[in-house]
Amino acid sequence: MGLFDLFKKKEKPAAPDPVTVTTELRSSYVEVAQRTRGELPMADVGGYASPSGGFVNFGRFKVVGVNAGTGRKNTKRYEAKDEEAARAAAAADGLSEPMTVEVEKLEDPTEQQMAYALDLKAVIPAGACKEDVSAIISRITDEDEAAPDPGLSLWAHDCGARFSRFVGHDALLGYMVHQLQGSDAGTLYAYAVFLQEKGGSFSDPRRLPVYDGLKRCGEAVAADPALMKSLEGRDADDLRSPNRGTKVYKATAELLKAQQVL
């Protein structure tokens, strides 16, 4: 090789052939629609029928009574099982006799509700009220079409939780968590701790041999403001899998052991 060749500019290697990359995007559409054939199964509330119509487990009442403080007539509205319960609620709010109680009809579904329900291929029974159609829509969109455990829905009804009988299996526990108060809320949580430790699923705890112990534990929790504060803000998931590290869990577990429930 000559001297000239040493100083020749080296040629760049040839660029490789371009590579073509092909991508294919695919999308799939999953239809959200009622899967259960016919009407969705309803929660068992022991044959109760609302005096206000629909398929809810409560009635709507307008109560007119005398305000004990001012001596003037006041009007209040309540959602309760019957007239007697509405009168008791009014009395607790300071109304006194003479009282008049009037049953009010529940609202009909809105056109928008019905249009959406039909898009979901929902089966809406004749006489369904606004709350019923809302519950049916939620069951379909939440994929919660199974009916609640009959024992749990009966217990919820007897405890005063208000819901449409078209409430879903998973949704019912949420209604109970947000509506039950005092010793009922404490008993529900004690029941959740019991199931966490012993196994099983939510039903009617009144059928259990340990129910009296669960109830006494619930009353003790309700009597302790610190424990009730620890219980506040919890949702249904907190009951399905209670956090063992919380103050209310530790105290409830100890109370259940003292009652020989655990």
- pLDDT, one tens digit per residue, over 64-79 is 999 988 889 999 999 9
Alpha-carbon gap, residue 50 to 58, rounded angstroms? 5
Q: Angle at the Cα of 189 (from 186 to 192), degrees rounded to 5?
A: 155
Distance CA(83)–CA(8), nearest Å, equals: 107
- Mean pLDDT, range 80-101, rounded to an integer: 95
Strand, coil or helix: what is 32? coil
Q: What is the pLDDT at residue 15?
A: 55
CB 120 within 8 A of CB 34: yes
Q: Please provide the average confidence, as pLDDT, over all residues in the chain.
A: 91
The whole-number average pLDDT for the span 105-120 is 96
Look at residue 259 and tell me whether its pLDDT is greater than 90.
Answer: no
Neighbours of 24 (CB within 10 A): 4
Confidence of residue 19 (pLDDT cuts 50, 70, 90): low
Q: Is the pLDDT of residue 126 over 80?
A: yes
- In this prediction the pTM is 0.85
Domain boundaries, the chain: 59-104, 111-258
Kindly report, residue by residue over 170-183, the tens digit of the pLDDT: 999 999 999 999 99
User: Closest Cα partner for 79 from 98, 96, 62?
Assistant: 62
What was the pLDDT predicted at 138? 97
Q: pLDDT value at position 12? A: 54
Largest CA distance in the chain: 125
Residues 174 and 237 sit within 8 Å (Cβ to Cβ): no
CB 139 within 8 A of CB 168: yes
DSSP per residue, 59-119 = EEEEEEEEETTT-SEEEEEEEESSHHHHHHHHHHTTEEEEEEEEEEPPPPPPHHHHHHHHH
Q: Would you place residue 16 in the very low, low, confident or very high pLDDT band (cuts 50, 70, 90)?
A: low
Band (239; pLDDT cuts 50, 70, 90): very high
Pick the closest to residue 188 from 203, 170, 171, 198 (CA basis): 203
